[in-house]
Amino acid sequence: MGVAQAMSPDLIDGFGRTIRYLRISVTDRCDLRCRYCMAEKMTFLPRNRLLALEEIAIIAERFIGLGVRKIRLSGGEPLVRRDVIELTRRLGGHVGDTLDELTMTTNGTRLAEHAEALFDAGMRRVNVSLDSLDPVNFRYITRHGDLTQVLGGITAAKTAGLAVKINMVALKDLNEAEIAPMLDWCVAEGHDLTLIETMPMGAIDEDRTDRFVPLTAVFERLGDQFDLQRDVAGTGGPARYWRVDESATRLGLISPLTVNFCDGCNRVRLTTEGKLYSCLGHDDQVDLKMALREGGVAALDDAIRLAIAGKPARHDFRIERGSAPAVARHMSVTGG
């Protein structure tokens, strides 16, 4: 019997929330250095501390066995990990059966190369981070990024049959004025757009307070330009959605600093080192790699349940000038 077939009761936390969604950071490395995400000089984990592909697959399949219906591969940049397509194929084999959806969040730099393989593996949607449509600004925000390459990746994804959702972090004085044009572009291209508030995770080279834009204010301004109708068909995630100008495009807002979404949280996150974080905004974690290596699948199940039982009620994110990040690790470690 495969690991995923050994069905157990659902994972329910101490606040009655059922866990259906696992995000996996397959690498903490990245080929970009987005200013709000990483410092220019980052120290990455030595490769011998990372989970092996087989270990990621076993852990993911245990989560599927425990009721998880959606898995997102993220990072760092997931497509810089050499064996990520192999992992996608393995997990993609569960889609339509014990798994509803396998998705990925990527910066798009290597999407042109891999889009078809992702589709063939069973993936149907990807989130692509795109904080600017201006090549100079894009390069400034990402420190290394080539906009043409990313737009080529998005086109390749669409051609391969993957639905694309654009992720855009709203950044004061950097891309705030580009939000409405980005939404126009998404409507024209048939992409969804999710706007994200910058979250205080990991040290970067500047104070995030200087870049913070409350999405409540952005939304009000967008409402003057676009017909925004609330779409109640949510994803059980932190985003709230609106239909834009009666088009196929949905606008999503992830605004953890201005609107708390924790009551409906159905997700947990596995780091590239095998640590399970039950909340993005807390430092508590359970070491699944150690559990698996020392006690096998039975110990793994116990460790997963322990982590879920300890899932905090809500995150503690606050943006205050000069304050240390709410959590020391970067978003790239837990997979945004």
Cα separation, 224 vs 52, whole angstroms: 50
In this structure, is the dihedral angle defined by the CA atoms of residues 144, 103, 160 and 181, taken in order, positive or negative? negative
Q: Which of 64-72, 101-109, 115-123, 273-281 is the region at the interface with ligand SAM (rule: CB under 6 A)?
A: 101-109
3-class secondary structure, 101: strand
Binding residue for ligand SF4 (CB under 6 A) from 27, 103, 332, 334? 332
Question: Is 21 a binder of ligand SAM (CB under 6 A)?
Answer: no
Task: Decide: is 37 part of the binding site for ligand SF4 (CB under 6 A).
Answer: yes
- Of 80 and 244, the one with the shorter C-beta distance to ligand SF4 is 80
Q: How many residues bind ligand SAM (CB under 6 A)?
A: 19
The nearest distance, CB 333 to ligand SAM, in angstroms, is 9
Q: How far is CA 152 from CA 105, 125, 157, 213, in A?
A: 16, 16, 9, 29
Q: Does 196 bind ligand SAM (CB under 6 A)?
A: yes
Sign of the torsion angle spanned by Cα atoms 310, 312, 317, 318: negative
Select 76 or 92, whichever has its Cβ closest to ligand SAM.
Answer: 76
Minimum separation from the CB atom of position 106 to ligand SAM (A) = 5
Distance CA 256, CA 108 (A): 25
Half-sphere exposure of 175 (CA within 13 A, CB side): 30
Q: State yes or no: residue 198 binds ligand SAM (CB under 6 A).
A: yes
The answer to whether the CB of 34 falls within 8 A of the CB of 202 is no
Q: Does 249 bind ligand SAM (CB under 6 A)?
A: no
**x/- map, 277-296, ligand SF4, by CB under 6 A:** --------------------
Spatial CA neighbour of 221 closest among 188, 177, 256: 177
By CB under 6 A, is residue 103 in contact with ligand SAM?
no
State the residues that interact with ligand SF4 by CB under 6 A.
30, 32-34, 37-38, 75-77, 107, 129, 332
